[in-house]
Amino acid sequence: MDQIAEKLKQIVGPGAWEDDEHALELNLTEGRGAIRGKARIMVSPANREQVADVVRACGETGVGIVPQGGNTGLCAGAVPDASGEQVILSLSRLNKIRKIDPLDFSIVAEAGCVLADMQAAARDADRFFPLSHGGEGSCQIGGNLSTNAGGINVLRYGTTRDLVLGVEVVLADGTIWDGIKTLRKDTAGYDLKQLFIGSEGSLGIITAVAMKLYPAPGEARTALVALNDAVDAVSLLSVCRAQLGDDVQAFELISSRAFEYVLRHIPDTQSPFPENFPWYVLVETANSARETSLEDTLGSAAGEGLIVNAVIAKNASESAKLWRIRHSISEAEKLEGAGAKHDIAVPIGKIQEFLLEGENRLRERVPDVRPVIFGHVGDGNLHYNMSLPHDVSKTAQEQMRQLASKIVYDLVTEMGGSISAEHGIGVLKKAYLKKYKSDVELGLMRSLKATLDPGNILNPGKVL
């Protein structure tokens, strides 16, 4: 181990490695503190050639490499295991935007670019980069590809996968595959880039990406809408899409408990309504040259009894305050105490049934958990979380967590849904992937892994 560490230090040079456990603290734990690993060393290569050299050196000795972006992932995929023998490969120094081409509506960036910096670069070129979520100030575009991140604009622009035009990847044997192209159409053979999107660093190290840009969407209109019932959210979504089309770019459901946690724990947040409601939807539109406005649509929805109240932000600062409520939910949940998290997807048409049936099953079998539901209802993706009672032992909490997860994932599977809509598998959901994926799917995944990483050095122990 000492030999490999010395070799890696030489590859990346002084100032680009760290092997002190205390200095590495934030790199050894994931955000919620549920998993903590150890690492022999963390190296931060400056370019793709150095990444390739690191991978080759680790491959020669069979040392496991854990690629790490912003470490904002929610499944502990970027955290090393407990052996202390793995190497963290940080992509942070590969942070240049190589090219931005407004005519081509494309951007080429290194994997370590922070998502918010990509958004800003697109804005400076009078273009729009639509990937956006609560982790955007720290997560990196390579991490976003590796988890196929979703976020708030999927409804209109799709997930990360839909935005990728090309990738540059270092393979397990150190070969650099330069797949950076900005083509919109390319059916010459297999679409290899797809293998690396959503594979959580287990099939290759992404060193650069080419992605789509869009026209700047014009002024956004944001509204917070109050509802009596979550089922009305699905009907409202349908009305909004029918009347406003693709102008609807975000449609986020927030349960009263999630709303209440934010107001309780996050400073400077307040409800724009004088009273509480069972459910809220944060809806954002942009663009409109249409005759029908967001006000018209919400007005007619109120007339039909679909919504019970609504505020429309008058300016960017009011809009930011509404978004702050949505973006603070995860933090507020953490401050509330122990919980169970489920990032699930079901077909949009089945959300109503899922919510009703989920509530019934949980009430019957784990009545003490308190559901904290929110999410990207426009994508059929709910963060179907729950708070656990404070006044029971950790063991009892863990038993409730496991039972609740089984109930939720069984139901999701019955409804043709997914146990992970946008956060990935990492370590935390590995056992569930094994339980809920079919043998055929698991077999195909294992053969891909064996072909692309025969020595099992790329993020070993994650996903599969």
Q: Rounded to whole angstroms, how far apart are CA atoms 96 and 223?
A: 36
The answer to whether 284 contacts ligand FAD (rule: CB under 6 A) is no
| Nearer of residues 247 and 422 to ligand FAD, judged by Cβ | 422
Binding map of ligand FAD across residues 91-110, x = CB under 6 A, - = no contact: x-------------------
The answer to whether 53 contacts ligand FAD (rule: CB under 6 A) is no
Q: Which of residues 293-312 bind ligand FAD (CB under 6 A)?
A: none
Binding map of ligand FAD across residues 138-177, x = CB under 6 A, - = no contact: -xx-xxx-xx-xxx--------------------------
Phi, psi of 436 (to 5 degrees): -105, -15
Segment interacting with ligand FAD, rule: CB under 6 A, options 128-136, 172-180, 384-392, 444-452? 128-136
> Do 8 and 88 meet the contact criterion of CB atoms below 8 Å apart?
no
Residue for token pair 């503190």: 33
For helices 2-12 and 48-61, angle between their N-to-C axes, nearest 10 degrees? 170
Using CB atoms within 10 A of its CB, is residue 239 exposed (0-12), middle (13-18) or buried (19+)?
Answer: middle
Q: Which of residues 410-449 bind ligand FAD (CB under 6 A)?
A: 422-423, 426
DSSP state of 21: T
Residue for token pair 């997860």: 405
The answer to whether 77 contacts ligand FAD (rule: CB under 6 A) is yes
> Do 309 and 226 meet the contact criterion of CB atoms below 8 Å apart?
yes
- Binding-site member from 4, 11, 78, 412 for ligand FAD (CB under 6 A): 78
Cα dihedral sign for 143, 149, 152, 153? Answer: positive
DSSP line for 192-259: THHHHTTSTTSS-EEEEEEEE-EE----EEEEEEEES-HHHHHHHHHHHHHHHGGGEEEEEEEEHHHH
**How many chain residues bind ligand FAD (CB under 6 A)?**
37
- Binding-site member from 37, 69, 166, 371 for ligand FAD (CB under 6 A): 69
- Binding-site member from 297, 397, 405, 459 for ligand FAD (CB under 6 A): 459
The answer to whether 74 contacts ligand FAD (rule: CB under 6 A) is yes
Spell out the residues 6+ positions from residue 271 whose beta carbon is closer than 8 angstroms to its own. 259, 263
The answer to whether 339 contacts ligand FAD (rule: CB under 6 A) is no
Q: Measured from the CB of residue 59, what is the shortest distance to ligand FAD in angstroms?
A: 15
Q: Which of residues 241-280 bind ligand FAD (CB under 6 A)?
A: none
Binding site for ligand FAD (CB under 6 A): 31, 66-74, 77-78, 91, 111, 133-135, 139-140, 142-144, 146-147, 149-151, 200-201, 205-206, 330, 422-423, 426, 459, 462
